[in-house]
Structures are given as structure tokens and as C-alpha cells.
Structure 1
Amino acid sequence: MTIGSTSRAALSTCALCAAGLLVLAPAATAARTAPDPGATGGPRVAGPQPSLLDRPGTQVRPRAGAPRVPRVSALSWVVADAGTGEVLAARDAHRRLPPASTLKTLFALTVLPVLPGGVRHTVRKDELRGIGPGSSLVGVAEGRTYRVSDLWRGVFLNSGNDAVHVLAELSGGWRSTAARMQAKARSLGALDTRVLSPDGYDTPGQVSSAHDLAVFGRAGLRSAEFTRYCGTVRARFPGGHGWSYVIQNTNRLLTGSDGVEPYRGLVGVKNGYTSKAGHTLIAAARRGGRTLVVTVMNPRSGGGFAVYEEARALLDWGFGAAGRVDPVGSLDALRVRPRPGPEVRPAAVTPTEDDDYASGWPTTGAIAGAALGGAAVTALLLRPRIRRSAGS
């Protein structure tokens, strides 16, 4: 299989634009940062409150009439608004714990963009080496041909480590994938996460946190492809010779299987389990135009399905607490922000679809306008001289 790379067009530099930029950019910046004279003497807006996410125990800032945070047994959990990134409540949000298969969300964030779903691939024997004993499998077989989209359904629905191994090999190899996942986590501000096994298999030293898993879940929901996969209840998986079999999502809060009542408005995202990590879950639900993401790590009581019931209780609380609590932190607080540049993105991209675009637009627009204006002025000043030179 050959994976093509997209070449980048070379950018030329215009001396006139640079001159105009140097002349006018300070003025544009000053105009953006200067205080509004009309605001003098007006009411001051309170600054953001300090984050409580580094503090141990349950953290919440309730207002009058806010519902009480439910008591759950998980070692760590987070309730956050997927739209704004505000954390409504949390317990030991940065506690580092084994993530189990919820780490596959970071794998998908890293690999989905580079592997088109329609590509067909025949699995080789070496691509299935190194799968840990006791791993969850979807049934990928050597010598059988699959579409990449089939393999992704195997990852999201059956949590198939065999599918992860094949996709990782297609995207550069096991170690390379782990390294890129680590870099992706850092860029998203997920600083508690250490990636050693891209499938989430128990590996000494591999950890994440409720904060980081919420970051991964929220980032995934910005991708239509990710959201479609994580919200799929059932699909057919190729079995060879034209035969296929049904696979079902193991997220019981989505499917309602094994006696767990499905959660109204649930979007997805991913559950996990290992003997070391216990049960882990990232769950997102949407109601009334608002989407919440909840992470639950290792409930200490209530049996194997407690992770779903504790997530249910936290989601219910989060929807009921809308407008009645102040945030205790943000999922964006540690995120690496790209440096602003002169490139203007297409107008079709709206702030609600890309927060970075929304936050970077005023600076970018001012600089771009300064560059164009400066180039025009400089060109006008130089025009007579250019004409005289041409006529000599």
C-alpha cells in the first residue's frame, strides 16, 4: 500500500509587502489592544477564576440552586462542556492512571487523518505480531483484504487490538505511531499522558488522566468521521469469501445491552477495561444544543457496569447544572496554541467549527490588511522612479 504525501506550495516573499507591514503593523496592533475610551469608568468584568483542577478531591463552584454533585466511586472523573471546554466539576482530574482502551481515542485522533477509509489492504503476518495476550480482538486475519473503514469499525466497536496493530503498521509502524500519539497529546495540552502501547494494552509506565481523556473525547467530536465511528451501534465485519458477521459496540451506555439502560442523547465515545486499569469510559451526550463530555476512571464499587451508571449520574448532573455553576478549569488551559501568521483561512470556516480560527482572526486580519495597505502605498511612492528608469 502506498500512502501519498501532499506537497506544499512554496511561498514567495514580497519586499514591498514587508515594508508596508513594518510600517503599519504596529498601528494595527495598537488599535486592537488600546483600551476603549468610552469604557472608562464603566463596570469592570471579573477576570477568570483560578483553575482548581490540580487540587485533590472533588472540585465544583456551585451557585445558588445548583444541584449537588453525585457521589461516585471512581478514582478520577471530569464533567466538561464540549463546546466551550469549561470543566464544570472534577475529582482528581490530573491523577495519572492506566487508561485501557480509552487511549484508542488518541490513536484515532493521530491516525484517522492519514488513512483514507476507502483504501483496501491485504493483511500481512508481521502486522499481527506483538498483540498482547488477553487482548480484545475483532477477528482480523492474515491474507484477508479489508477496507481501512472496516478496520476502524473494528477499533471503535469491538476495541480490536488486532485492527489497531494493522492500522499502526500502515501509518508508519508501532513505535512511530506511539511517538506521534505522544506529540499529539502534548499539542492538545494532555500533559498527563504517556504513550507506550497505542492500543491501550497494559504496559508499565503507560498512563493518562480524566482530564486528558476528556481532551481526547472533545477533540474527536470535532471530526465528523470520528463521531460517526464512535456513535455506530452495529456494523458488519468481513469474514472472508464474501461472508461477514455482525459486530456491536461494547459501549453499553450507547447500545443498552447487558441490562444497562441506554442514555438519551448519547453521542459515543469509547470504553475500556484491563485488569490493571479497571473500567474506564469517555462518554459524550447532547441535549438542547449542548454537548457534555464525561470521563470516569476505575470505579471502586458497583461491579463491571458501574462505570456506565456513574457516567450517567455525572451527565445528568452536568445537564442539570447548566448556568448554575462556575467552571473549575478548562480543557484548553494547557493546549499549545499555534503562532499567528498572515494566512487567512476560507470564509466558509466559522468560529464554532474551529476555535483557533475564531481566536486568531483579529490579529491575522489586522496584519494582512496592514501588509496590503503598506504594499500599495510603497508602490505609489516608487512608481515615478520606476517610469524614469524605464525611459532612460
Structure 2
Amino acid sequence: MTIGFPSRAARSTCVLCAAGLLTLMPAAAARAELPAPGPPGGPRAAAAPQPSLLYRSGTQVRPRRGAPEVPDVSALSWVVADAGSGDVLAAHDAHRRLPPASTLKTLFALTVLPVLPGGIRHEVSADELSGIGPGSSLVGVVEGRTYRVSDLWNGVFLNSGNDAVHVLASLTGGWSATAARMQAEARALGAHDTYVRSPDGYDAPGQVSSAYDLAVFGRAGLRNPDFARYCAKVDAMFPGRSGDSYGIVNTNRLLTGEDGVKPYPGLVGIKNGYTSNAGNTLIAAARRAGLTLVVTVMNPQEGGGHAVYEEARSLLDWGFGAAGHVDPVGSLAPGGVRPLPGPEAVPSAVPAARPSPDAPGWHQAGAIAGAAVLGAGVMALALRLRAFRTKGM
């Protein structure tokens, strides 16, 4: 069956639809316009951001003339980024999802630090120390002892104490609630590779992160004064069982120079980790001549237990030498340049991020969709008016 309309009604409807489109399209067109080029010999317009290469496999770098060669490291995944701007200078399999070990404690700190003032005192119960995984790193928290929250944070950052994490998590709603808040914090920061199952970083089925996400957490942590202070501490005193105290030393050997690892000049912390499943992992940040770099290294395949520090050293050295001589391959900033579409840029194993409402093209699409809805409404109104007139005849 075919439904036809008198030509006059059809023309009226089309005119009204076109009017609706024309009403909304100027806003979309205005947002889509590119800035006009400057006058000859004048300053050049800002170059359009290049698409991210971070979802591509292998090592990604955009060198200019004079850029040093990227070091050959064995880590499964790594990132070198400018902590200030968020520009990623180079990366290798940046979004590869791997177990993070205790580097996940950086996300725990970002989530819990803002709601637990360091001066609070708390007496630890037996329930708060239950469920700690076998073989966990511990700082020595004991039942019945009263601790300041700041003591517990020293235990988290310096000794990677899973016992301290369990107590702090209990003070903010419990283990599962803390994991859920960490998950939400990761997404809010633009970290979409991280899935939290155990807030202390202990190996758990399905718990993963990526070199990219860990760099995001490290960068965010440096902007939190409490986080920055804790992660830079070399040593501290920790309350003992019977009222005394004992010294603890940061396990980040690139910071302390322990076990024959030469300390890195200008290092400002952040966090190391190890489990048998994750291997050695590290987020390291260093400052030189006003530039702060954050480097993540996940699971070196060669060189033993200290390789994670030596590979981070090589990447930091490269980053300080390459700054100003490479174009960024992506950004740590939320809403940064999206990856290129298609299987070459976004492997099928990694879901593409949903477009942000602020992303280029979103407003134009919204305007066109709005115009279509308006046009459909106008057409429906015209048909109803025509039906009304027909009944009146």
C-alpha cells in the first residue's frame, strides 16, 4: 500500500523541515570552522593535535631532528610522559593490560587520602587485619595498637604494607566499597584499562592496569601535596608493638640507593611493586631544570629484580634528553586526543573509548540530530493539521 500526500502539503512540510535544519545548523557550522590562517609572514596558527598512537602495539615515538634514540628495554609495557603537560613523549604497548602489583596502591591513595586526615588516631581490631593475602608485604600493624593515620600512610608508601591498606580501607567503608570507589576514581581520571579487585594490589583474578593508567595515577598523585610528600620519603619511624618505634625504609631503590642500586638524581618518588604474577612494576618521577617526568615500567623480561630500576633510569635519561625534540604520541590528560579509528590503531582486545560530549564533532552531531527531531515534529504537525482540515470538509 502506498500513502501519498497532496503536493501543496508536501511542499509546506519540506519548507518547515528545512527551516528547522537551518535554525540549528549555524551553531554546528560555527563549531566546525577552523581558524583562518594568519597573514603571510605572521605567526603560524597552532598546529592541530596529532592523533594518539598509544593504542598501537610496539614502541611509539615522533622524533624531530636531534632527538636521541629510544633505549632498548625489556619491559612488556612502558610510558615516558611530561607530568606537567601530560604529553606522552614515547611509549611501548601503553594500553596493554597487565597485573599492576603494589603500584595500584597509588590509586588507593588517590581515592582514600582526601577523606582521612593524617592526625586521626585509630585502635586496630582483629577484623581489620583479616583477609590479608599470604606472602603479602607487611609494615607490622598489630591488633590493639593505636596508630595515627599518617603512620599507616607511611606504612603504605614506604613499606608497601598490605596490613596498613586493610586498616585504612576499613576506615572508609570496607574492602569492597573501597575497591568500587577506586574503580570510579580511575574512570574519572581517564584510566580505562584498570580493573580493581584487591585495593592493595595483591594478585586477584581480573585485576589489571596498564603503563598508561599507572602514569595517569602518578601524575595525579604529584598534584596532591600529601601524596607527593609520602611518596618522596626515604625513611620514617613506625610504632612498635609495645609502645616503642622502629625505622622503616622506602622499598623504591631508585629513591634510596639500597641494595646496590644507584639513586636517580632529582627523583621525587612514587611507587614500586612486585608479585610473582605481575613481576616487577614501577612508577617513578624525577625533576630536572623545571621539567618533571613520570615513567612507568611493567614487568621487565631481562636483568633480574633490579632491572625495573635500571630500565626506568634509562627511560628518564632519554626523556630529559628528548624533551623539546619529540612531538607527543598521546596525552595523559582526561579527554586527550582520541586514537585513530580502525583495527590498526585500536586492537579488538581493547574497547575504544566512548566519545566525550566535549570531543570534536559531538556538538555538530547533536545539532544535526536536533534538527532531524525538529523536522520530524514539524512534519507530524503538518499531517495532523491536514487530517483535521480533511475531516472538516
Common fold, TM-score beyond 0.5? Answer: yes
Match of 2:377 in 1: none
Match of 1:166 in 2: 167
Match of 1:24 in 2: none
Match of 1:278 in 2: 279
Match of 1:349 in 2: none
Q: State how far apart, in whole Å, the 2-side matches of 1:150 and 1:333 are.
A: 32
The 8 Å contact of residues 37 and 45 in structure 2, kept in 1 or not, is answered as: no
Counterparts in 2 of 1:279-294, with a 5 A limit? 279-294=280-295
1:36 Cα deviation from its structure 2 partner = 8.2
- Describe the SS at the equivalent of 1:153: helix
Q: State how far apart, in whole Å, the 2-side matches of 1:239 and 1:35 are.
A: 64
1:322 Cα deviation from its structure 2 partner = 1.2
Match of 2:181 in 1: 180
Summarize the Cα distance change of 1:48–1:38 in structure 2 as closer, same or farther, 3 Å threshold.
Answer: closer
- Describe the SS at the equivalent of 2:259: coil
Q: State how far apart, in whole Å, the 1-side matches of 2:37 and 2:89 are.
A: 34
Whose Rg is larger? 2
The 8 Å contact of residues 53 and 94 in structure 1, kept in 2 or not, is answered as: yes
Counterparts in 2 of 1:245-284, with a 5 A limit? 245-284=246-285
Match of 1:224 in 2: 225
Match of 1:111 in 2: 112
Percent identity over the alignment is: 77
Match of 1:299 in 2: 300
Match of 1:207 in 2: 208
The 8 Å contact of residues 59 and 89 in structure 1, kept in 2 or not, is answered as: yes
Q: State how far apart, in whole Å, the 2-side matches of 1:155 and 1:267 are.
A: 17
Task: State the AA in 1 paired with 2:318.
Answer: W
1:334 Cα deviation from its structure 2 partner = 4.1
The 8 Å contact of residues 273 and 280 in structure 1, kept in 2 or not, is answered as: yes
- Describe the SS at the equivalent of 2:96: coil
Q: CA RMSD in A?
A: 2.1
1:168 Cα deviation from its structure 2 partner = 0.1
1:46 Cα deviation from its structure 2 partner = 2.0
How many residue pairs match? The answer is: 307
Alpha-carbon displacement from aligned partner over 1:196-218 (angstroms, at most 9, x marks no partner): 00000000100000000000000
Summarize the Cα distance change of 1:100–1:92 in structure 2 as closer, same or farther, 3 Å threshold.
Answer: same
- Describe the SS at the equivalent of 1:212: helix
Q: State how far apart, in whole Å, the 2-side matches of 1:153 and 1:116 are.
A: 13
1:332 Cα deviation from its structure 2 partner = 1.2
Structure 1 unaligned spans of 5+: 1-30, 336-392
1:33 Cα deviation from its structure 2 partner = 11
Q: State how far apart, in whole Å, the 2-side matches of 1:258 and 1:71 are.
A: 24
The 8 Å contact of residues 51 and 329 in structure 1, kept in 2 or not, is answered as: yes
Alpha-carbon displacement from aligned partner over 1:74-112 (angstroms, at most 9, x marks no partner): 000000000000000000000000000000000000000
Q: State how far apart, in whole Å, the 1-side matches of 2:256 and 2:316 are.
A: 17
Match of 1:13 in 2: none
The 8 Å contact of residues 281 and 297 in structure 2, kept in 1 or not, is answered as: yes
Match of 1:101 in 2: 102
Match of 2:354 in 1: none
1:222 Cα deviation from its structure 2 partner = 0.1
Q: State how far apart, in whole Å, the 2-side matches of 1:277 and 1:172 are.
A: 28
Q: State how far apart, in whole Å, the 2-side matches of 1:267 and 1:194 are.
A: 27
Alpha-carbon displacement from aligned partner over 1:134-171 (angstroms, at most 9, x marks no partner): 00000000000000000000000000000000000001
- Describe the SS at the equivalent of 1:240: coil
Match of 1:363 in 2: none
Alpha-carbon displacement from aligned partner over 1:215-264 (angstroms, at most 9, x marks no partner): 00000000111011000001000003331000000000000000000000
1:44 Cα deviation from its structure 2 partner = 3.6
Structure 2 unaligned spans of 5+: 1-29, 337-393
Question: What's the TM-score once normalised by structure 1's chain length?
Answer: 0.76
Counterparts in 2 of 1:273-352, with a 5 A limit? 273-334=274-335
1:40 Cα deviation from its structure 2 partner = 6.6
Match of 1:23 in 2: none
Question: What's the TM-score once normalised by structure 2's chain length?
Answer: 0.75
Does structure 1 residue 147 correspond to structure 2 residue 148? yes
Summarize the Cα distance change of 1:145–1:306 in structure 2 as closer, same or farther, 3 Å threshold.
Answer: same
- Describe the SS at the equivalent of 2:142: coil
Task: State the AA in 1 paired with 2:108.
Answer: F
Q: State how far apart, in whole Å, the 1-side matches of 2:63 and 2:256 are.
A: 33
Q: State how far apart, in whole Å, the 1-side matches of 2:38 and 2:58 are.
A: 41
The 8 Å contact of residues 188 and 334 in structure 1, kept in 2 or not, is answered as: no
Task: State the AA in 1 paired with 2:145.
Answer: R
The 8 Å contact of residues 88 and 330 in structure 2, kept in 1 or not, is answered as: yes
